[in-house]
Structure 1
Amino acid sequence: MPEKSMYDSWVSRIHLFINGKKHGMMMLDSIDNGPLVYPTIKENGQTRPMKYSELTKAQQLQDDYDVQETNIILHGLRPDVYALVNHQEVAKDIWDRVKLLMKGTELSYQECKCRLMTMQQVQVNTKFLNALPSEWSMFVTDVKLAKSLYTTKYDQLYAYLSQHERHANEVRITRERYLDPLTLVANSPTLYNPSQSP
């Protein structure tokens, strides 16, 4: 994985490499549009996703190539970038996160320059972290302890925090379910500690 200035070249090489594989177009389509979504079936009045063995041969082939393309992309990443996206299991999600890390958001260069030029990096990061909803508070604390807000870019903070999105959503759902704080504490499972996550 090259530096940010070489990102477009890296994308081109990955596309060429995958396209040269058997069923490469199928893999590239999956990177752009997401992996095979397992169809569901009704069984005993319950709806469940099909098992791999119940898929058609074409669906099994697509699922196999979804895994293969994910591995190709992960093997092409620098260790520091890999550490930020390795919790993702779907090639499209990895591809999108790497693009965000390398290219930033869709804001134009001029917009970024106008908005951020007068602010120091620590101010931008603090604004970003303070704008997060309350269910992110324990993860924000972890970021403040683990990362330097003076040197880390906000898109790197976003990638770091996105590893904890599932847990933040669980906190939000639990809070919505138990509006009374005492009921919340009494019904909470063992608290999640982000510093102990892989």
Structure 2
Amino acid sequence: MTTLAEFMIIAGADNRPPMLEKSLFDSWKSRMEHYMKNRENARMILNLVQNGPLIWPTVTEEDGTIRTKKYEELSATEKIQA
């Protein structure tokens, strides 16, 4: 019987990440890295997986309170990361 992962390979589903076969983790990890490298913004995706999610920048108000920046307040680089 064909497994779901094998069926996806046969069907040519290249727009979905490869399925995890528990007994084949090393192979799956390698395939996931190749999959991420072929996506748009590959460097940012790999960075996110390796280092965790983006920590939203904060702003210290005049009264000393700390809040997260609003999207409109982000720099161009921060907007791309977000």
Tell me what 2:37 maps to.
19
Tell me what 1:38 maps to.
56
Flag structure 1 segments of 5+ consecutive residues without an equivalent. Answer: 64-198
The offset of 1:28, in angstroms, is 0.2
Secondary structure of the 2:67 match is strand
Match status 1:62 vs 2:81: yes
Q: Match of 2:22, as an amino acid?
A: K
Tell me what 1:153 maps to.
none
RMSD: 1.5
Secondary structure of the 2:26 match is helix
Partner of residue 5 from structure 1, selected from 14, 23, 27: 23
Tell me the distance in 1 between the aligned counterparts of 2:69 and 2:59.
6
Match status 1:47 vs 2:60: no
Tell me the distance in 2 between the aligned counterparts of 1:4 and 1:22.
28
Q: Verify the 8 A CA contact 1:36 1:59 in the aligned structure 2.
A: no
Tell me the distance in 2 between the aligned counterparts of 1:12 and 1:40.
36
| Identity in percent | 38
Q: Match of 1:48, as an amino acid?
A: R
The structure with more helix, counted as a fraction of residues: 1
1:102-141 Cα deviation digits (max 9, x unpaired): xxxxxxxxxxxxxxxxxxxxxxxxxxxxxxxxxxxxxxxx
Correspondence list, 1:120-159, <5 A: none
Flag structure 2 segments of 5+ consecutive residues without an equivalent. Answer: 1-18
Larger radius of gyration: 1
Secondary structure of the 1:41 match is strand
Secondary structure of the 2:59 match is strand
